[in-house]
Structure 1
């Protein structure tokens, strides 16, 4: 019964693959939820702007009593009247100098910016989750290396004890082996703490409840890929990066805002009409019947104190600013793509170099241990070989993690991370 809590905790651990983690992020990441909420906002703005192009209908009803003694002589002694009425009124803009059309087009561009933001946050979440996932794998790999190193030191300690008992070693050899064991423990402790920290970061980007215990499964090893030319990657980024698409759509919005500002002092034609029923009561008599009216109205604010001119000047400035920001963003994306490509190349070269180094370090350690057993190598040479192997294995694990992350960064820089071709 004493093992029940431990078994319960072990059963509660949720082990995730990279695909599992990405699927959770797409459902629970808070930035993605914010982007979807922004999409609802711009959808509402689009409906608001589109309403100006549609007819407006209203139902009005009234009941009133009025009395004016000053009018009684004129009205044959009738001073008080009661009126009742109900009518359905319609208003429709017929011509607005392109103002309504520009507002609708601008709102449509706003809808596209919401889609761009959703893609941006989805790709950002994929990048963050993937990096955090590989960080956990790296921490677990370094912990395994630290544990293996400690076990090896403990085996050497046991061997030193046997050699001391056999009279072929000294107390110094046993003490040196014990010190090596003690020096290996702190790295194991640090590696275990790195695992906990990496898991907490992964839980954060996944927006998983803090009470849920998670673990990951996977490998840092992966096939080396052939990079496309920089020009091809840059062309892909210009087409696929959500930030660039959003910037283009925002330029479109400000272009329409300029059109709206230019139409402020231009003629506007509206249609208005109504149909209903009116009743009048006075002096004990009642009159009622249908009523209707219809008209076309022209509004031409040809002089507004140069207010429209000021709005147009501001709109042009805003449009120019957005165009310059778009150009700056293109330059920034170009730099990001080039840097991401350099990062992949660097990580690939390091992986290739360290793969051979690990094999050499393993062979060197085997030769040192065999020589020590034969009495032709000293303990210091064995320890140097062990240290070189641990360093080579640790560096290779970090290099493999860096290579996987560099591929993710390149996919993010070109705007294709997680995109369906």
Structure 2
């Protein structure tokens, strides 16, 4: 019965290794490569793994392009502050030349005067008016060329351009924080997988060491049973044999977990499924830290990309409100044009005075009534600002609660570290004492097997606690938005 209980405990520790070695999503950067069974094996430090992941991860270029798009939109908004200058040129061919038809009319002499008019067969007679015949006046030739340089400069817009500038500026800041969030998530994933691979290697080593000691105990049990000492029976030997073979199967599973942890680390770094990465570190780091919850939360408000993204969204919403309010104000612009016209005709409209020149003017536009469209836009913008502020309060509480949960878990892990370390040390000493006593037939077979399994159990539990401490620190870095240890040291 005792063997079965211990076997269940050992199986619990060993069979949960897949979740430990492959978690859910500073040394010099050096790497070494070697080929094993057609697979590329890469030995790398944590810093090298992070740098490789940042270079190969496909999420990072996407976030970078989002920032570039936002910056381009911001430059478009800033373009409205400059004069808009357009150069136009064109050629026109008409089916026939344009004309102006002056109608026939009677023109009376002023002041009741008269002029002599000679009429054939009658002679010369005085006339008080005369007729002007219809006149067809040609204005220009059929072919015309024209070039003009037009300029428009918006002098006053009621805050429209400033609103667009604030909107696009907020968008740039939001995309920068989104890109920063992507980098933090990549670093967090690499840290977890890297130390998950270290944990898998340590657990595999524990399994192999336990198997080697159990095999040595089995040989000793067999020898004592065959010598017929009386204290060791055949049932003890058979129970020991069952335990050894069970552990051998568990060690095979631990080996598989270690290999998969290396492959998972390589996959996180953007490498091929054929490649594996072996961490340089052999031990899980443990660095106890002393910090206050209030300082962590205040640090998160300063560095968290989520908090900064909400601030950027609020800036953009205020810019949208300013743009909407500009509809209540007039628009004032300065306009000007410099033109040149080429036409082979020299009379009519195609005179030298009309063929070239310039003009300058000031224009005002004021919208008197648009069906309350401006009011609707302003109300919608104000409602959006209120919505973002309400979400900001929720985010503030959410960040504080998330940090508090991680903070409490980190404190628990630090307390558990010392407890599991003491338990592992005691288990090691107990196993050593029971092994020596068993050679002198002072303890039962069951006692020495129990001591060996307990050492493996406590060692696995201790290294699992170390990994949880590292993972919690990485999670805290992700939530706070900065490396916690460096921030505290500063």
How far 1:139 moved relative to its partner? Answer: 1.1
Q: Does the aligned pair in 2 maintain the 1:233–1:337 contact within 8 Å?
A: yes
CA distance in 1, matches of 2:98, 2:50: 82
- Select the residue among 215, 220, 225 that pairs with 2:278: 215
Partner of 1:3: none
Query: What SS does structure 1 have at the residue aligned with 2:170?
Result: helix
Partner of 1:230: 293
How far 1:226 moved relative to its partner? Answer: 2.9
**Residues 1:219 and 1:347: Cα distance change in structure 2 (over 3 Å):** farther
Partner of 1:47: 75
Q: Does the aligned pair in 2 maintain the 1:265–1:301 contact within 8 Å?
A: yes
How far 1:209 moved relative to its partner? Answer: 2.5
Q: CA RMSD in A?
A: 2.5
Partner of 1:263: 326
How far 1:246 moved relative to its partner? Answer: 1.2
- Select the residue among 27, 30, 44 that pairs with 2:55: 27
CA distance in 1, matches of 2:80, 2:267: 44
Q: Does the aligned pair in 2 maintain the 1:340–1:413 contact within 8 Å?
A: no
CA distance in 1, matches of 2:35, 2:283: 29
- Select the residue among 410, 414, 418 that pairs with 1:348: 414
CA distance in 2, matches of 1:304, 1:11: 70
**Residues 1:215 and 1:222: Cα distance change in structure 2 (over 3 Å):** closer
How far 1:95 moved relative to its partner? Answer: 0.8
**Residues 1:72 and 1:88: Cα distance change in structure 2 (over 3 Å):** closer
Q: Does the aligned pair in 1 maintain the 2:166–2:318 contact within 8 Å?
A: no
How far 1:369 moved relative to its partner? Answer: 1.4
Asked whether 1:203 is paired with 2:266, we answer yes
Please list every run of 5 or more consecutive structure 2 residues that lacks an aligned counterpart in the other structure: 1-33, 103-134
Asked whether 1:13 is paired with 2:41, we answer yes
Q: Does the aligned pair in 2 maintain the 1:137–1:219 contact within 8 Å?
A: yes
CA distance in 2, matches of 1:239, 1:201: 33
Partner of 2:122: none
How far 1:407 moved relative to its partner? Answer: 1.8
- Select the residue among 138, 162, 170 that pairs with 1:109: 170
CA distance in 2, matches of 1:191, 1:144: 9
CA distance in 1, matches of 2:427, 2:36: 42
How far 1:331 moved relative to its partner? Answer: 0.7
- Mean CA deviation greater in 217-226 or 259-268: 217-226
Partner of 1:193: 256
Larger radius of gyration: 2
Please, what TM-score do these two structures have when normalized by structure 2?
Answer: 0.79
- Mean CA deviation greater in 402-411 or 65-74: 65-74
Q: Does the aligned pair in 2 maintain the 1:265–1:303 contact within 8 Å?
A: no
- Mean CA deviation greater in 320-329 or 199-208: 199-208
CA distance in 1, matches of 2:233, 2:212: 22
Partner of 2:401: 335
Which consecutive aligned stretches of 4+ in structure 1 deviate over 6 angstroms post-superposition?
283-286, 418-421
Partner of 1:151: 212
Partner of 2:195: 134
Q: Deviations over 1:336-357 (max 9, x none)?
A: 1111211110101111001111
Q: Deviations over 1:296-344 (max 9, x none)?
A: 1111112101011111111111111111111111111111111121111
The 5-angstrom pairing of residues 17-416 of structure 1 reads: 17-67=45-95, 71=99, 73-74=101-102, 76=136, 78=138, 81-168=142-229, 170-282=233-345, 287=351, 289-416=355-482
Q: Does the aligned pair in 2 maintain the 1:82–1:282 contact within 8 Å?
A: no
- Mean CA deviation greater in 191-200 or 39-48: 191-200
How far 1:45 moved relative to its partner? Answer: 0.7
Q: How many residue pairs get matched?
A: 416
Higher helix share: 1
Query: What SS does structure 2 have at the residue aligned with 1:64?
Result: strand
- Mean CA deviation greater in 235-244 or 190-199: 190-199
